[in-house]
Structure 1
Amino acid sequence: MYRDHSVGVVMPAYNEEGFVGDVICDLPEFVDRVYVIDDCSTDGTWDEIREAASRDAAADDEPVAETALLADGGDSALSERATIGDPVGRVIPIRHRENRGAGGAIKTGYLAAVGDDMDVTVTVDADGQMDLEQMPRLIDPIVDGEAEYAKGNRLLYREFRQDMPRFRFLGNSILTFLTKIASGYWKTMDPQNGYTAISGYALANVGVESMYEYYGYCNDLLVKLNAKGMRVADVAIPAIYGDEASSISYPTYIRRVSWMLFKNFCWRLKVKYLVLDFHPLALFYVFGTATAALGVLGGLWSLYVKYANGDPLFVRASLSLLLFLIGSLFLMFAMLFDMQVNEQKEVQIRE
């Protein structure tokens, strides 16, 4: 327990032999339940999870609360995805029946945490990149009632920005900007950070069953949280780097997550500003996008006519530019309104 709140940890693991065991054993004593999801690893990850769970249980003299997860064979949505092992101390080993990716493993762990009614659920990677001593900084905003979701932010540290490869930093910056637009959390940075904490209330109401199952699950969750009016805390937390290797293909990652964010953005506008409530910024976004796109198409058509027939370019090009500027103006107004609506939904916690 942490300040009278039960704490669960969701730990996805894919080919993390040599890392996952140390992470399990190094988790803080206040963690009540650890859901370790083996995403069909091809190395010794599963054996290391069970061996580390035994070591962790032997080192813990405190009694562990019974889990409700196995009372009826597990939740149906969970049991369809994975095989749930018998609890070993506070650790519940879970093994996917098929590889589902990082987001899929997080989703499985979230379903398990909901089944056990955890007050706070923290996500921790199995590769040792996350400073476990910083975990209270993520939990405190939730326990204090400042936010329903807290996430780490590595970009507040200059050393991290300097050490990150240029292509990776560019990709992170692009996805950060797209996530700001899609989610409505305009002050939040480093949305790809997987070190997070979420309240039991938010987890039960955000729609975990439909969560994105690729690496962009963090970005997807932010959109869902905003549509439900949840508050988010951006917490400065450094990363730890060692011998671990990333399995992300960044060109594929950026392409797939960008398309997901576009669809989520449209969904958020519909749900938050048309279905649950009404705000004209949704219409501003639609009109601005359509008008700006028409201006771009008009400009391209003007160039085509100019070089195909030799017709004057000035009138057509001027009209196209005017349409583009009007559309861009409406888009900026829409973004400004969106910032104002969500201004009180963001908390930033620095060092």
Structure 2
Amino acid sequence: MYRGSSIGVVIPAYNEEGFVGDVIREIPAYVDRIYVIDDRSTDGTWSEILEAARADASEHRNHGDPTVQQLVADGGATALANRATVRDTIGRVVPIEHRENRGAGGAIKTGYLAALADGVDATVTVDADGQMDLSQLPRLLDPIVEGRADYAKGNRLLSREYRAAMPRFRFIGNATLTFLTKIASGYWKTMDPQNGYTAISHDALAAIDVENLYEYYGYCNDLLVKLNVHGMRVADVAMPAVYGEEESSIAYAEYIPKVSVMLLRDFLWRLKIKYLAVDFHPLALFYLFGAATAAIGVLGTGVAVFSALPSPGTPAVQGATSLLLLVAGIAFLLLAMVFDMAESESLERQVR
């Protein structure tokens, strides 16, 4: 337990032989459950998980919070049983095998389902590649156990030192997705949404629809949108990353278009649920009207520029009208963003 709260750690692993064992062995002693999900690896990841689990059990004999029920190991989670095979618990480690490859988000979802079934108070996600400094874990857990936040996530962009350690191509991609996620989620102060070092309270995990979480690398962006709709408080915690010999399995040419489409869909869903269905706020109409007006303005400007109409004055008039529509559309979008920022301001905090 950590400060009176039971703690679970979810470790998704796909072809992480040579890394995942060290991560398991380095998990702090105050963690009560370690859910390690092998996402149909083709190397020796599964064997390494079992070996590390046995070593961890030997080191932490009789460790664990007796109030945490081992429902998962006893087959108590129906949704989990439909997607994965849960092996016997080895000490505090719960080894889980996916029946098919489900991606990073799918593995996180499986771990979340297991943590929900066990009823742990706070659930942490840690990558299996050793990039995350486990000595920083209390900084993620403190906002949760102190009741200051429902979800805490690492942020590598809050300090110049941490930003400098990030490879340039990752920084550019991260900055782009940060901006898109701000718009989609409504958490305008939150950065580095791709950071997989997170902690979530049991109540927040139970509130969101875990079974419908996105099952690709954009799961963390999707989760932020769902948390905002449910009014959950998010803490952005300054956190370094450790870049070593591991290789990213993200195919960026496929990743960016997929996540962008997902974010657009999530954005429209958030507007519908939060500002139209649950409670009405004009910012939803400002967003929609602004986007439509700006789109018409862009289209009209393009038609005016490439028009072959005989009258030299007509394209100019069309162009001016279209430009005015474009400016008006952008103004409505900016106004909607200002309202959106104000609505979620109380749900965000930064921890440096």
**Shorter-chain TM-score: which interval?**
over 0.9
- Kept in 2, the 8 Å contact 1:294–1:323? The answer is yes
Identity in percent: 66
Look up the equivalent residue of 1:62 and give its one-letter code. N
Q: How does 1:24-39 map to 2 (within 5 A)?
A: 24-39=24-39
Task: Kindly indicate whether residue 104 of structure 2 is the aligned counterpart of residue 102 of structure 1.
Answer: yes
Note if contact 2:304-2:318 (Cα within 8 Å) is conserved in structure 1: yes
Shift of 1:167: 2.9
Question: Given the alignment of the two structures, is residue 124 of structure 1 paired with residue 126 of structure 2, yes or no?
Answer: yes
Match of 1:224 among 199, 223, 226: 226
Number of the residue aligned with 1:40: 40
1:318 is matched with: 320
- Return 54-63 or 253-262, whichever deviates more: 54-63
- SS of corresponding position for 2:157: helix
1:1-351 equivalences under 5 Å are 1-64=1-64, 65=66, 66-71=69-74, 73-305=75-307, 307=308, 309=310, 311-312=312-313, 313-350=315-352
User: How many angstroms does 1:250 deviate by?
Assistant: 1.5
Whole-Å separation in 1 of the counterparts to 2:329 and 2:182: 20
| CA deviation profile, 1:2-30 (whole Å, cap 9, x unmatched) | 11100000000001011111110110011
Q: Please give the alpha-carbon distance, in whole angstroms, between the structure 2 residues aligned to 1:165 and 1:59.
A: 36
Letter in 2 for 1:277: D
1:74 offset after TM fit, Å?
3.4
Q: Is the 8 A contact 1:212 1:220 kept in 2?
A: yes
Q: Distance in 2 between matches of 1:243 and 1:183?
A: 33
Deviations 1:269-311 (A, max 9, x none): 0000011111100000010000000100111111222x46464
Q: Is the 8 A contact 2:165 2:241 kept in 1?
A: no
TM-score normalized by the length of structure 2: 0.97
Mapped partners of 2:216, 2:63: distance in 1:
36
Distance 1:101 1:111 in 2: 16
- Note the C-alpha offset of 1:62: 3.3
Instruction: Indicate if the aligned counterparts of 1:57 and 1:90 stay in contact, CA closer than 8 A.
Output: yes
d(CA) in 1 for partners of 2:76, 2:193: 31
- For 1:286 and 1:56, locate their aligned partners in 2 and report how far apart those are by CA, in whole Å: 54
Offset of 1:242 from its aligned partner? 1.3
1:168–1:250 CA contact under 8 A, matched in 2? no
Letter in 2 for 1:11: I
Query: Does the Cα contact within 8 Å between 2:186 and 2:225 map onto a contact in 1?
Result: yes
Q: Is the 8 A contact 1:149 1:231 kept in 2?
A: yes
Aligned partners of 1:208 and 1:140: how far apart in 2? Answer: 23
3-state SS of 1:3 partner: coil
- 1:87-134 Cα shifts (integer Å, max 9, x gaps): 000000000000001000000000000000110000000110000010
CA distance in 1, matches of 2:27, 2:73: 23
Letter in 1 for 2:73: L
**Alpha-carbon distance between aligned partners in 1 of 2:316 and 2:243, rounded to the nearest angstrom:** 56
- Gaps of at least 5 residues in structure 1 are none
What are the ranges of 5 or more consecutive residues in structure 2 without an aligned counterpart?
A: none
Q: Residue deviations 1:131-175, cap 9 Å, x none?
A: 001001001001111110000001123234334333322211110
d(CA) in 2 for partners of 1:99, 1:67: 25
Report the AA paired with residue 160 of structure 2: R
Distance (whole Å) between structure 1 residues aligned to residue 71 and residue 131 of structure 2: 31
Q: Partner amino acid for 2:348?
A: E
CA-CA distance at 1:266 after TM superposition:
0.2
Q: Normalising by structure 1, report the TM-score.
A: 0.97
- The separation in 1 between residues aligned to 2:319 and 2:62, in whole angstroms, is 75
> How far, CA to CA, are the matches of 1:120 and 1:166 in structure 2?
33
The DSSP-based 3-state class of the residue aligned with 1:74 is: coil
Q: Partner of 1:156: helix, strand, or coil?
A: coil
Q: Is contact 2:73–2:89 with CA below 8 Å preserved after alignment?
A: no
Whole-angstrom CA distance in 1 between matches of 2:333 and 2:53 = 52
**Whole-Å separation in 2 of the counterparts to 1:236 and 1:62:** 34
Q: Match of 1:41, as an amino acid?
A: S
CA-atom RMSD in angstroms: 1.2
Q: CA deviation at 1:79?
A: 0.7
The whole-number CA distance in structure 2 between the counterparts of 1:16 and 1:61 is 26
Q: In 1, Cα distance between the equivalents of 2:256 and 2:168?
A: 15
1:223, distance to aligned residue in structure 2 (A): 0.2
